[in-house]
Chains A and B, each alone.
Chain A
């Protein structure tokens, strides 16, 4: 038996320590176990909001008192200090995320070097865990190094999962950047995620991992007893009669905790189209700083009585199923309805529009979006966007700020709180890394062009992994 307690204790006994942790080997578990042996309050930083949510859940389950830890993303932690202490006016706008986040992290790294601020950190925390270290940009790495002057730092990560190519910024390199940490380096060796649910899947993934590390092609047919493989043509997914489409419907019927992974992350439209194809039976995982959140807020900020109908319609088209929407809305006005039943349905919307054409009110805009959602057969395929937009509209009205400001507040709060993703959804490796689902279906797996993204996709399922590919031999390497 491997002595895990000794590992935990050794790992936290040095002021700079590194733990290499492959996907599903119990990294999150290790953090929560370590928290049993640490003193005082530990700061736990990770990258994604999803990561925060899953860490919180695990730590809570283990019964660790909340006084012993604080979990947050690196960006929101940095943001907190910059908002609190940075005095100049040159902070980029938050929706300019290409510039905003690097700026925030860099300024935060400078701030925590100032003695009185250092003291606040030191008084509040006793140690620092950084999860998913492979996702750190060089910039974030400098921030963590600055914090390591104040607190002992324990980092966990897996170089093979370093796919977070955020803003195209350069990521930390485990080989060259972590020399301070390599004197105290540990490694997890057992694929725990699959121990109870599907231990053979765990063993297969361990084998695939070592192939990916060595850039050897993966012949999936070798693993057909543990991984469900379906050889398909990409476009078949849209055709009701094709196997590809059928199999997905089967999955939607049989699985409750299901994730579809789409290999290309550049464009959200392909995923939107899939959601529509399957009649909103799964939803989109939204990017935390998805442009639509901010763009739609700005559109409403500029609303006036003459443009209000048009702008609401434009936004509705992006949130609801357009085909049904067009039964009720024309481009410039509501459709005339003859039947009493339809008149009754559209009356409240008509009413609200009437009021809006006299005086613009954000609360009324929110009300109208909710009224649209209540129309029979209208489906909302971007629930998170819908709810956040309604909330932003109401807060903007009550707090007398712009919708854009309100939206920033809401997204920041989520960034701080971490979010949970449940049920059935579709995302890209970037959006779902760190998450775990009962069943995972990888769409068009042959499209993966680098080993890291493929490894992340393969390792998300705890029980059932389905791979749709046009070639059973995967070669995700750029040559």
Chain B
């Protein structure tokens, strides 16, 4: 059943000109910062493939409110349902999908797959028009809502109460149609028939016609971890009128529409994934809405595992992102002309740093110490009245030591601005820093050969070092430090400075991992920054200045 191969959007809400080819992707999770246009993409799909007779548009739906430029949403579909490509439907308007190049061609060839391009256009008059287009024919032909309904596209949004009724255009109705199409004559409406029957017997009779489908939904819901086994179909007595919209799913005697938000979303998704079992396109905006982290993770996993149609979702939740592969993730940036595809070499990075993928700019920190320093620096910014890094779209990623070069390159290639924050005691990494610079990645590191601990103990004024010694306890560390010195340390060794002591302290701190925890690193940073004014001309001070400047993008 139909899948979106390509999507083009022009002048729709926040998107001026956008185009993306999804090719074989069946599971598309859109991430990106707020207002980047993720929901607009989902809305665009839901509009262009809508089965509604009419959709209401406003001037504010035009990019920049400029109604002189028409809204154009165009999508090319593959794996089309057979009943749309009959000669008297849109069979004469098919296009060729070249699998080897992912291109859409209008001159058909033997090894092409069938594709169909549907375009929604809204001019100044705000009247939406849906066409099937290609470049062979001069005049596009209109596509009816009835035919668009065959594409089975459903948006799971906030307004999902109607998803529990058997009225036209709802996913339940589509499911019914799917099952019924081959058996019952055209023009009959099983729902209305069932309703008439039920009306005569009122509540004594169950709605056997729907049992098969409710069973499917029960098992789907069960998979998603919600128990609706006592559900059946009955008349909702809100007001009695012979309309199919009045027939809806109930939990015992309670209509589903009265359930909680999260449960409603899950049940709605259950119904719609049942539909997608035979193919269909499901759109879920902010999938985490109303769901606990474990429930949303279970949901995402199940959707991904059982998906036989195509699912588009958006999320702001790192809980969702950790469950996915790089190939499932697509980043939308404000004013971008296409989605960013994430490089597979970041696969491990997703598990470790899901949050980073929501940022625009990333500081890859070598390890826990650097992350701690980064956090201290961010607190320092806030104290000084500067903006929080996260507000500026900056987020750190944990480079876990050995992976920092890979991560930096992966992030950069995936369209992020990247800065590496690390020390300089690993020759293997030092060798690669030049290539990072060439790739446009900023590097903030220590003096040649120095670890971050060496640098700290080299550059800090002795009175600050004393604070750190006190923090660790002078007696406790004396032996370790002593073993790295030529002179023998006295009991008041911490009172006087020497280059040798500085070096020994640096090595001891490093070897014993004094600051190799985020909280310890943060403590270190807080102490250093308290004395920021005194170290501005030292390397460690310059490192902080560079970090702050990079965050401020100066």
A residues adjacent to B (C-beta < 8 A) = 70, 80-81, 83-87, 111, 113-117, 119-121, 123-125
Contact = CB atoms under 8 A, between A and B. Distances in A.
A119 B112 CA distance: 11
Given A81-B92, A84-B92, A120-B91, A114 B110 contact: yes
B94 to A, nearest CB: 6
B85 A123 contact: yes
B208 interface: no
Contact of A116 (B82, B86, B88, B108): B108
B137 interface: yes
Nearest to B137: A84
Contacts of B93: 84
Nearest to B90: A120
Contacts of A87: 106-107, 136
Given A84-B137, A85-B136, A87-B136, A115 B111 contact: yes
Nearest to B82: A123
A250 B251 CA distance: 84
Interface string B136-154: 1100000000000000000
Nearest to B93: A84
Contacts of A125: 87
Interface string B100-115: 0000001111111110
B136 A124 contact: no
25 contacts: A80-B87, A81-B92, A83-B92, A85-B136, A87-B106, A87-B136, A113-B110, A114-B108, A114-B109, A115-B110, A115-B111, A115-B112, A116-B96, A116-B112, A116-B114, A117-B94, A119-B85, A119-B114, A120-B85, A120-B87, A120-B94, A120-B114, A121-B87, A124-B87, A124-B91
B225 to A, nearest CB: 41
A409 to B, nearest CB: 11
Residue of B92, B107, B137 with highest tally of chain A CB at under 10 A: B92
Residue of A84, A86, A116 with highest tally of chain B CB at under 10 A: A116
Q: What 10 pairs across the A-B complex have the smallest Cβ distances?
A: A84-B92, A120-B91, A124-B87, A87-B107, A124-B86, A116-B114, A115-B110, A114-B108, A116-B112, A123-B82
Contacts of A113: 110
A116 B113 contact: yes
Contacts of A80: 87, 92
Contacts of B106: 87
A121 B111 CA distance: 17
B101 to A, nearest CB: 16
Contact of B94 (A70, A83, A86, A116): A116
Contacts of B88: 70, 124
B108 A85 contact: yes
A114 to B, nearest CB: 5
Contacts of A116: 94, 96, 108, 112-114
Given A83-B137, A120-B87, 17 more contacts: A70-B88, A80-B92, A81-B92, A83-B92, A84-B92, A86-B136, A87-B107, A87-B136, A111-B108, A114-B110, A116-B96, A116-B114, A120-B94, A121-B87, A123-B85, A123-B91, A124-B87
Nearest to B88: A124
Contacts of A123: 82, 85-86, 91
Contacts of A83: 92, 137
Q: Is the interface of A mostly helix, strand, loop or mixed?
A: helix
Interface extent on B, as a size class?
20 to 34
B86 A84 contact: no
Interface string B49-89: 00000000000000000000000000000000010011110
Contacts of A114: 108-110, 112
B92 A120 contact: yes
A363 to B, nearest CB: 22
A86 B137 CA distance: 10
Contact of A85 (B85, B92, B111, B113): B92
B134 to A, nearest CB: 9
A111 B106 CA distance: 13
A16 B516 CA distance: 83
A113 B108 CA distance: 11
A206 B445 CA distance: 106
Contacts of B113: 116
Nearest to B114: A116
A81 B136 CA distance: 12
Given A116-B94, A123-B85, A84 B136 contact: yes
B367 to A, nearest CB: 55
Contacts of B110: 113-115
A29 to B, nearest CB: 26
A86 B134 CA distance: 12
A270 to B, nearest CB: 41
Given A81-B92, A85-B92, A117 B87 contact: no
Contacts of B87: 80, 120-121, 124-125
A70 B91 CA distance: 15
B524 to A, nearest CB: 66
Contacts of A117: 94, 108
Contacts of A121: 87
A80 B93 CA distance: 11
Interface in B263-317: none
A115 B99 CA distance: 14
A432 B198 CA distance: 60
Contacts of A124: 86-88, 91
A100 B67 CA distance: 45
A124 B136 CA distance: 21
A16 B114 CA distance: 28
A117 B86 CA distance: 10
A40 to B, nearest CB: 11
Nearest to A111: B108
A228 B137 CA distance: 55
A84 B92 CA distance: 5
A120 B112 contact: no
A56 to B, nearest CB: 16
A83 B111 CA distance: 21
A2 B107 CA distance: 51
Nearest to A88: B107
A102 to B, nearest CB: 22
B5 to A, nearest CB: 14
A256 B178 CA distance: 54
Residue of B87, B93, B106, B107 with highest tally of chain A CB at under 10 A: B87
A70 B85 CA distance: 16
A124 B82 CA distance: 9
Contacts of B94: 116-117, 120
Contacts of B86: 120, 123-124
A86 B106 CA distance: 9
Contacts of B108: 85, 111, 114, 116-117
Contacts of A84: 92-93, 136-137
A188 B88 CA distance: 34
Interface in B124-170: 136-137
Nearest to A116: B114
A84 to B, nearest CB: 4
A125 B85 CA distance: 12
A83 B138 CA distance: 10
A115 B94 CA distance: 12
Contacts of B111: 115
Contacts of B82: 123
Contacts of A115: 110-112
Contacts of A111: 108
Nearest to A87: B107
A85 B95 CA distance: 9
Nearest to A81: B92
A119 B91 CA distance: 9
A112 B136 CA distance: 16
A76 to B, nearest CB: 13
Contacts of B107: 87
Contacts of B92: 80-81, 83-85, 120
A113 B111 CA distance: 11
B426 to A, nearest CB: 57
B189 to A, nearest CB: 19
